[in-house]
């Protein structure tokens, strides 16, 4: 017999950048592992240095970084960590980006524009990533930008369970904020056994973070409207949507979104809007100055940990969502 036979057990390690340490620790706690000790700091001119303090040779590595503000800095740190892992002989590198930066730039709206979401995928592939994992990508087509496996997770079960526990289901109407979210809204209607309404709006591609709501398609009079979206940035679109719903007779408005970006002046807008509750997950850190009285933040770490465990065990990530039809 020629060669050498080894019976080494697989080793999974979790590494995290500096963008959201609370989420990283929560994921580690749910997995029952410790984060790999990592040195990371900025030089005086802004360049980033990273180094892992223990060997990861032959490991199945999950490197977690959410792309919060300052987005470009944390994306660069994420890329550098992936490159360092590749050069340290990691067996497999899975990029875990709960919020995927530049996801809104997934197509050209006019000539001479970049498709930044595609460039992001290319950058991670070039750096050495074997697999991507993210939560509620802005559009599903982004999965096709990366030439490898992509685990697209959904916060729908977490958000819908909270709404189902706290709101009278007989009074709920699920509202899609635009045509692009109708499929997701339909899954909400299946879970909550509620009717659907759609906001018909037109957005000016030359004016970011603003949209003009034209009309509400569906009956919302006397109903508790649950608006379902993937992210809230400045809050302008959501506030206009809530105003249109109240004008059409809605008795109450609840807003749900996976990612709470909350760029200024979102917190003030949402607090003063008359919206009963804004529900988001903690895929992004939300500092105290961006929090407000009617905000509810739900943990995403248990879902990320379960997905990471399924990937490491060569199981089925899709099975996590079989009961909600996503």
Contact 259, 99 (CB under 8 A): yes
How many angstroms separate the CA atoms of 60 and 13, rounded?
Answer: 6
How many angstroms separate the CA atoms of 40 and 52, rounded?
Answer: 9
H-helix or E-strand containing 252? strand 252-260
**The token pair that represents 68 in the structure block:** 């919060």
Residue 136 CA from chain centroid, whole number: 5
**For residue 151, with 0-12 CB atoms within 10 Å meaning exposed, 13-18 middle and 19 or more buried, which class applies?**
buried
Task: Give which of 95, 248, 101, 93 is closest to 173, Cα–Cα.
Answer: 248
Q: What are phi and psi of 206, to 5 degrees?
A: -90, -5
Contact 98, 132 (CB under 8 A): no
Report the half-sphere exposure of 257 (CA within 13 A, side-chain side). 21
Asked whether the CA dihedral 176, 99, 256, 238 is positive or negative, the reply is: negative
How many angstroms separate the CA atoms of 319 and 326, rounded?
Answer: 10
Would you call 141 helix, strand, or coil by DSSP?
Answer: helix
How many angstroms separate the CA atoms of 21 and 39, rounded?
Answer: 13
201 catalytic? Reply is: yes
How many angstroms separate the CA atoms of 213 and 280, rounded?
Answer: 22
Q: What are phi and psi of 198, to 5 degrees?
A: -130, 135
Which residue of the set 86, 91, 201, 309 is catalytic?
201
Active site residues: 201
């Amino acid at each position: 017999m020629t060669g050498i036979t080894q019976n080494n057990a697989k080793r999974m390690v979790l590494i995290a950048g500096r963008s959201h340490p609370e989420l990283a620790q929560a994921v580690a706690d749910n997995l029952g592992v410790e984060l790999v000790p990592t040195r990371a700091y900025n030089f005086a001119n802004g360049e980033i240095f990273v180094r892992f303090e223990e060997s990861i040779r032959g490991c199945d590595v999950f490197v977690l970084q959410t792309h919060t503000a300052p987005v470009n800095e944390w994306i660069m740190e994420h890329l550098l960590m992936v490159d360092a892992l590749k050069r340290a002989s990691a067996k497999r590198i899975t990029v875990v980006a709960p919020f995927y930066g530049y996801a809104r730039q997934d197509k050209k709206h006019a000539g001479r524009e970049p498709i930044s979401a595609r460039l992001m995928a290319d950058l991670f592939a070039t750096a050495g990533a074997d697999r991507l994992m993210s939560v509620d990508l802005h559009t599903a087509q982004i999965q096709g930008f990366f030439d490898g496996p992509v685990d697209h997770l959904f916060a729908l079960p977490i958000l819908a369970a909270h709404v189902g526990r706290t709101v009278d289901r007989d009074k709920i109407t699920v509202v899609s904020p635009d045509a692009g979210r109708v499929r997701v809204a339909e899954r909400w209607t299946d879970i909550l056994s509620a009717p659907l309404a759609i906001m018909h709006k037109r957005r000016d591609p030359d004016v970011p973070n603003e949209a003009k709501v034209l009309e509400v398609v569906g009956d919302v009079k006397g109903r508790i409207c649950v608006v379902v979206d993937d992210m809230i940035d400045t809050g302008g679109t959501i506030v206009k949507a809530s105003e249109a719903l109240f004008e059409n007779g809605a008795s109450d408005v609840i807003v749900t979104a996976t990612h709470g970006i909350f760029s200024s002046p979102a917190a003030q807008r949402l607090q003063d809007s008359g919206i009963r509750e804004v529900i988001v997950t903690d895929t992004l850190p939300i500092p105290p100055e961006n929090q407000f009285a009617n905000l509810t933040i739900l943990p995403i770490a248990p879902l990320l940990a379960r997905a990471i465990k399924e990937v490491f065990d060569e199981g089925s990530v899709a099975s996590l969502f079989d009961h909600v039809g996503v």
